[in-house]
Amino acid sequence: MMNPSSSSMRALLLACALFVAAPQAIAADWLLAASTPQVLPGQRFEVILIGEGRAADWPARLAARIERREGGPAIALELVAIGRPQANARQRRYFGRWPAEVAGVATLALADHPAARLLLDADPSRVAATAVTPDPTTAAAEAAPARVPTGQASELIADVAAVEPSAIGFHEPMYFLVGGKDPVSARFQFSFRYRIFDTQGVVAETLPVAGGVYFGFTQTSLWDLQSESKPFRDSSFRPSLFYRWTLDDPQGRGALALSGGYEHESNGKEDVPSRSIDTLFLRADARLRLGESATYLGIAPKFWSYLDREDNPDIARYRGHAELGLRLGRDDGLLLSTLIRRGTEGKIGTQYDLSYPLRRSVFSGVGAFVHLQAFKGYGETLLEYDQNKDTQYRLGISLVR
């Protein structure tokens, strides 16, 4: 029987895992998830991998490791694919055997994508009868050992239906950074998108194009840490309604996503400090893998037309009608991002982001990155869209980049 202190700690850690709707780990475009945070020592468990490219091209076996909360050497583990995913699926199910000697809360991480992490609880007090009875179609997989000889995985494991990915996901980078000058401030951003129609629902099955309709929301805030009352200097709220279409290269050399729709941006204030715009936008996000490595070049131009700018009629002089985003690096390593925006009268605002994954996440099952940001020019906040700022350096943590 567990003592009260260990039971409380386990409950607290599991609450952190369940906070994100399902246990999962984010590392840029790779997602590791499970339907439950509970596993049984010495027993089979399943996870879902969602990532880049076609799932059918992913290896049948993945190297992973288990990192225990109390520290010590990591335990190597192999995950074996279950079934054959659909032709254009971007997710695949894998199973493994949890080591009998590992009990309590531990982290499962992919060896090739170490920032993709998943918090699991191996509770030896749970009786085997509480485990979910396997589906008959996966009986062969249940009986198979965790280590399957090369080339035999597809013969031992029966086909299973693909798991529908969550309707809610990450939209733009999320971070919390501190620094800058005049005054010292924190800049933070969180963002999500929500797929309105379930791809297996009545609407999307009747009209498949509806499966690409999303609602998005992004908030960016500047928090004055130097003034006496520590006020928020400005916040930008950006709800949007858009359509998103993706295309993957069958050879795994790149990917393209196109988004277009309506976006409103406002700082939520009244009278003189009020700022708001309404736009129609089109954005492309292209990625090209460089050679055989995991390093890639990303290009993300965005174009927009103003529907309403009454609060700031001259904003196009400083913000223009387009911006260009560039990315170079690896999803599991160093990544440099640049955002360039140029107004119609040559006013320029540039932002540079350099980030690197933390090998041991301090945020439970969520991957984290150390993040350095530099901003110079016009448009750091919507309120100060027409003010030219000296270079502002900030350092902190990002969860999505």
In a domain, 162, yes or no: no
Q: Cα 26 to the chain's mean position, in Å?
A: 5
Residue of 143 and 84 predicted with greater confidence:
84
My answer on whether 195 and 110 are in the same domain is no
In a domain, 241, yes or no: yes
My answer on whether 306 and 278 are in the same domain is yes
pLDDT exceeds cutoff 80 at 71: no
Question: What's the domain count of the chain?
Answer: 2
- Residue 331's pLDDT band, with cuts at 50, 70 and 90, is confident
pLDDT exceeds cutoff 60 at 243: yes
Q: Is 117 exposed, middle or buried (0-12, 13-18, 19+ CB in 10 A)?
A: buried
CATH number at residue 127: 2.60.40.10
- Report how far apart, in Å, the C-alpha atoms of 72 and of each of 40, 177, 372 are: 21, 31, 30
Highest mean pLDDT: which range of 113-117, 127-131, 144-148, 295-299:
295-299
The tens digit of pLDDT for each residue in 217-235 reads 999 999 999 988 889 989 9
pLDDT exceeds cutoff 60 at 236: yes
HSE-CB at 253 with a 13 A cutoff on CA atoms is 3
pLDDT exceeds cutoff 60 at 363: no
Average pLDDT, stretch 375-384? 93
My answer on whether 177 and 109 are in the same domain is no
Q: Which residues of 21-30 are buried (b: 16+ CB within 10 A; e: fewer)?
A: eebbbbbbbb
In a domain, 244, yes or no: yes
> End of a domain among 156, 186, 201?
156
Tell me the residue type at 17. Answer: A
H and E: helices and strands count for the chain: 5, 22
pLDDT exceeds cutoff 90 at 16: no
> End of a domain among 156, 177, 199?
156
- Cα–Cα dist 308/318, whole Å: 16
Average pLDDT, stretch 378-393? 92
Which domain does 202 fall in, by range? 168-400
User: 348 by DSSP, 3-state: which?
Assistant: strand
pLDDT exceeds cutoff 60 at 360: no
Alpha-carbon torsion 54, 58, 62, 63, what sign? Answer: negative
My answer on whether 147 and 177 are in the same domain is no
Residue of 17 and 83 predicted with greater confidence:
83
Alpha-carbon torsion 138, 144, 146, 148, what sign? Answer: negative
Highest mean pLDDT: which range of 71-80, 82-91, 310-319:
310-319
DSSP labels for 83-129?
Answer: S---TT--EEEEEEE--TT--EEEEEEESSSTT-EEEEEE-TTS-GG
My answer on whether 135 and 277 are in the same domain is no
Q: Which two tokens stand for residue 138?
A: 């996966």
In a domain, 11, yes or no: yes
Alpha-carbon torsion 341, 298, 390, 172, what sign? Answer: positive
Closest CA to 118 of 226, 26, 190: 26
In a domain, 264, yes or no: yes
My answer on whether 138 and 261 are in the same domain is no
pLDDT exceeds cutoff 60 at 69: yes
Give CA angle at 265 (263, 270), nearest 5°: 145
What pLDDT was estimated at residue 126? 60
My answer on whether 128 and 220 are in the same domain is no
Tell me the residue type at 281. Answer: F
- Residue 397's pLDDT band, with cuts at 50, 70 and 90, is very high
- Residue 250's pLDDT band, with cuts at 50, 70 and 90, is low
Compute the mean pLDDT over every residue in the chain, rounded to the nearest whole number: 80
The phi and psi torsions of 202 (rounded to 5 degrees) equal: -65, -45
111 near 63, Cβ under 8 Å? yes
My answer on whether 206 and 128 are in the same domain is no
My answer on whether 231 and 336 are in the same domain is yes
What pLDDT was estimated at residue 320? 94
My answer on whether 200 and 116 are in the same domain is no
Q: 39-53, 141-155, 379-393: lowest mean pLDDT where?
A: 141-155
- Report how far apart, in Å, the C-alpha atoms of 121 and of each of 15, 46, 341 are: 11, 13, 46
114 near 359, Cβ under 8 Å? yes
pLDDT exceeds cutoff 50 at 105: yes
My answer on whether 53 and 109 are in the same domain is yes
User: 375 by DSSP, 3-state: which?
Assistant: strand
My answer on whether 253 and 106 are in the same domain is no
37 near 13, Cβ under 8 Å? no
CATH number at residue 209: 2.40.230.10
In a domain, 163, yes or no: no
Q: Cα 102 to the chain's mean position, in Å?
A: 28
Give CA angle at 167 (164, 173), nearest 5°: 120
> End of a domain among 134, 156, 178?
156
In a domain, 220, yes or no: yes
In a domain, 71, yes or no: yes
